[in-house]
Amino acid sequence: MSSAVSRRNSCRGSQCGSRSSSSECRRRGSNCSYLAPGAPSEELSVSLNQPIVTITLRFLLAIDLRLSKRLGVCAFEGSSWGGIRPLVRLVEFSGHAVPWLIGTLYALLCGDTAAEQEIMLNLALALLLDLLLVRLVKTVVRRRRPSQNRTDIFSTFFIERYSFPSGHATRAAMCARFLLAQLVETNSMRVLVLGWAGLVSMSRLLLARHYVTDVGFGLVMGYCQYHLVERLWVTRDCLQDLLLMRLQERLNKVYGRLWLATWTR
């Protein structure tokens, strides 16, 4: 009788042991496969099968994400540097396209000389070119903004949802090169323009609007855009010729329509 009872207890114990081991494997999931001899890790096999370019890009992306998260010290009021958030947002607004376009058009209309009007005209065209190129790249890449980015009233109306590249950085670099080449002559003003471009670019990182790679690529892109602006420089005489040609074409169309109307009658 005792031998039968002991057999039953041993059977129950073995069944309980197998059930507990199976339940433990279910809880641990893929960790149980590591315990099996000769079974390689899935993550290790995937990492070994990846090309070196992919591994390098993922490593750089991880550094970009980590560094961008550390720099977002003014993302919201409760951040470590949240007290200076209004000042950083003011610097951010100074690099927006709206005040630059309004100021450029006002200077174009109120320019005293033809040379000043020519410079302001090309600056306005450069700003429009910057908006077009940045929108094109953002539409192609479609990179989302950092998770720290806070959506407020200002960002709702003036900030796009895509992140790469930073439009403020491209505009700051392009406008800085334009001003240094066309308007700025003293060294103190050069330092002021370069400092403004750096602060505008840094504000995008402090407010967690962009990643570090967004701002870096934006600075390079804006720096290169000025070469395109120089090649496409529009002089005042060229603009007058184009306007006269367009006006002459429209007058010819209107004259042709009137002539057809009178001929049919």
- Separation between Cα atoms, residue 69 and residue 76, nearest integer Å: 13
Active site residues: 168, 210
- Separation between Cα atoms, residue 239 and residue 232, nearest integer Å: 12
Task: Compute φ and ψ for 144, nearest 5 degrees.
Answer: -75, 155
Distance of CA 164 to the CA centre of its chain: 3
Gap between the terminal Cα atoms of the chain = 126
CB neighbourhood size of 229 (10 A): 21
Please report how many Cα atoms fall inside a 13 Å half-sphere around the Cα of residue 68, on the Cβ side.
24
Query: Cα–Cα–Cα angle for 161, 154, 97, nearest 5°?
Result: 75
Helix (H, G, I), strand (E, B) or coil at 74: coil
Quote the pLDDT of residue 221.
95
Quote the pLDDT of residue 78.
78
Residue identified by tokens 């992306």 is 61
CB neighbourhood size of 245 (10 A): 10
Quote the pLDDT of residue 44.
37
- From residue 167, give the alpha-carbon distance in Å to each of 99, 180, 189, 232, 239: 14, 20, 23, 21, 28
Instruction: Dig out the tokens for 252 from the structure.
Output: 């010819």
Instruction: Dig out the tokens for 258 from the structure.
Output: 């009137």
Query: Cα–Cα–Cα angle for 49, 55, 57, nearest 5°?
Result: 145
Instruction: Select from 94, 88, 75, 52 the least CA-distant residue to 211.
Output: 75
Residue identified by tokens 């450029």 is 104
Helix (H, G, I), strand (E, B) or coil at 144: strand
Q: How many residues does the chain have?
A: 265
The DSSP bridge partners found for residue 162 are 144
Helix pair angle (52-71, 187-206), 10° resolution: 100
Per-residue model confidence as pLDDT tens for the chain (265 residues): 444 444 454 444 444 444 444 444 444 433 333 333 443 333 334 455 677 878 888 888 889 888 888 888 888 777 788 889 889 999 999 999 999 999 999 988 887 788 888 899 899 999 999 999 999 999 999 888 887 777 665 554 555 678 899 999 999 999 999 999 988 889 999 999 999 999 999 999 999 889 999 999 999 999 999 999 988 888 866 655 555 555 556 656 655 666 665 656 5
Domain limits, the chain: 63-234
- Separation between Cα atoms, residue 185 and residue 164, nearest integer Å: 33
